[in-house]
């Protein structure tokens, strides 16, 4: 298991997730370091996305889903999966960006302001400042500042994904969750989004699911390899790619299966 000098932002402790009788995640324990990028890799169906979505309780929208174990968020030591914790409160702490861009059928401005309005922010000056800041952080401001009232659907695919990142950032989450955010992007858009992600880690904690092992190697600080719902190995990215401790990890990284 990875060991670092920096403190933890969260800790996954013996987490299991069940869809009815099917166990999708099997007693996973791993650290999530503060101001770092943790990449979850592994073949399709290994439990990466299921694990990621536990951080904001998205599974609560589905029937017959059951959690065991804990996700402890620091510094308050709160278990995000506790029945005593309001799932809406959990979702306020994290921002989620999905595989495909999903802009709302609203203007560029209102897409970014949407979460802020839900949180009761109505002051026009504050909204404008927060929207500009989020668009700046997602490297989109200069491209859209003259057309904030235009429909978000007019943006290119890569721009739409950066808009979705801006929408997630606007509410200043403690953790940013990314579910294969560049899988539908061309190489240029992928590079720009990776640059954004890499810059964001200076002030927030990021967990990313990716099928792209080269992407994990490029941008992450820690890489966790999952297989059939189990966490096989979690190490510093350099260690796991150059000196994997487990034979199964080595075989996956070498392309023996996937």
- CA angle, 185 then 188 then 191, to 5°: 85
Residue 185 domain-assigned? no
pLDDT at position 89, please? 85
Residue 24 domain-assigned? yes
How far is it, in rounded angstroms, from Cα 18 to Cα 25? 7
How far is it, in rounded angstroms, from Cα 156 to Cα 154? 7
Q: How many domains does the chain have?
A: 1
Residue 187 domain-assigned? no
Q: Residue 43: which of 222, 228, 206 has the closest Cα?
A: 228
How far is it, in rounded angstroms, from Cα 249 to Cα 213? 12
Asked whether the predicted pLDDT for residue 202 surpasses 70, the reply is yes
Residue 2 domain-assigned? yes
CA within 13 Å, CB half, 209: 23
- Burial class of residue 93 in the structure, from the number of CB atoms within 10 Å of its CB (0-12 exposed, 13-18 middle, 19+ buried): middle
pTM for the model: 0.94
How far is it, in rounded angstroms, from Cα 240 to Cα 139? 30
Residue 222 domain-assigned? yes
pLDDT digits (tens, 9 = 90+) for 101-155: 999 999 999 999 999 998 899 999 999 999 999 999 999 999 999 999 999 999 9
Residue-range definition of the domain harbouring residue 212:
1-86+207-258
Q: What CATH number did the domain enclosing 226 receive?
A: 3.40.50.300
């Amino acid at each position: 298991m990875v060991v670092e000098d920096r403190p933890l932002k969260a800790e996954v402790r013996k987490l299991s997730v069940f869809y009815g009788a099917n166990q999708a995640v099997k007693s996973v324990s791993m650290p999530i370091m503060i101001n770092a990028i943790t990449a979850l890799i592994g073949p399709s169906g290994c439990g990466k996305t299921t694990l990621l979505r536990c951080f904001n309780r998205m599974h609560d929208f589905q029937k017959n889903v059951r959690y065991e174990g804990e996700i402890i968020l620091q510094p308050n030591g709160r278990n995000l999966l506790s029945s005593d914790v309001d799932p809406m409160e959990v979702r306020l702490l994290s921002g989620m960006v999905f595989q495909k861009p999903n802009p709302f059928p609203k203007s560029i401005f209102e897409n970014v302001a949407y979460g802020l309005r839900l949180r009761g922010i109505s002051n026009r000056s504050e909204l404008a400042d927060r929207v500009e800041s989020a668009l700046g952080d997602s490297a989109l401001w200069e491209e859209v500042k003259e057309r904030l009232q235009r429909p978000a659907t007019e943006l290119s695919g890569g721009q739409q994904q950066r808009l979705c990142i801006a929408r997630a950032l606007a509410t200043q989450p403690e953790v940013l969750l990314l579910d294969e955010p560049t899988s539908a992007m061309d190489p240029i858009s992928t590079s720009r989004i990776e640059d954004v992600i890499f810059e964001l880690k200076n002030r927030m904690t990021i967990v990313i699911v990716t099928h792209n092992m080269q992407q994990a190697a490029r941008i992450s600080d820690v890489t966790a390899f999952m297989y059939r719902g189990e966490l096989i190995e979690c190490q510093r990215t350099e260690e796991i790619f150059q000196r994997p401790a487990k034979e199964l990890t080595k075989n996956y990284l070498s392309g023996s299966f996937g």
